[in-house]
Amino acid sequence: MGAIDIPLLKSKMAYHGYNISGLAEEIGVSRETISNLLKEDNKPSYHVMNAIFYTLELTPEEGGAIFFNSNLRDTKVSNKEG
């Protein structure tokens, strides 16, 4: 799984009027769970991902971009021609 696109997730939260506490309450998890999710290298459980997906009314593309974001800076490019 790739990194979470934290800026995109935060923008979707703001668009729907959620802060960390509000989103946590809405999906039934602790504030700490959402806070940790918004830190680098923290992966959400399926339950949390699914709840955020539906609460923020994400499209499949948006959900994929947020939760399965690949950091291209960490991708090695080969110059070999095949």
User: Model pTM?
Assistant: 0.79
61: part of which helix (H) or strand (E)?
helix 60-67
Domains of the chain: residue spans and CATH: 6-60 (1.10.260.40)
Single-letter residue type at 23: L
d(CA 53, CA 13): 11
Work out the percent of the chain whose per-residue pLDDT is above 70.
79
Q: In terms of C-beta density within 10 A (0-12 exposed, 13-18 middle, 19 or more buried), how is residue 45 classed?
A: exposed
Instruction: Look up residue 74 and give its two tokens.
Output: 């960490």
Q: Does 18 score more than 80 pLDDT?
A: yes
More confident residue, 48 or 74: 48
- CA 76 to chain CA mean position, Å: 23
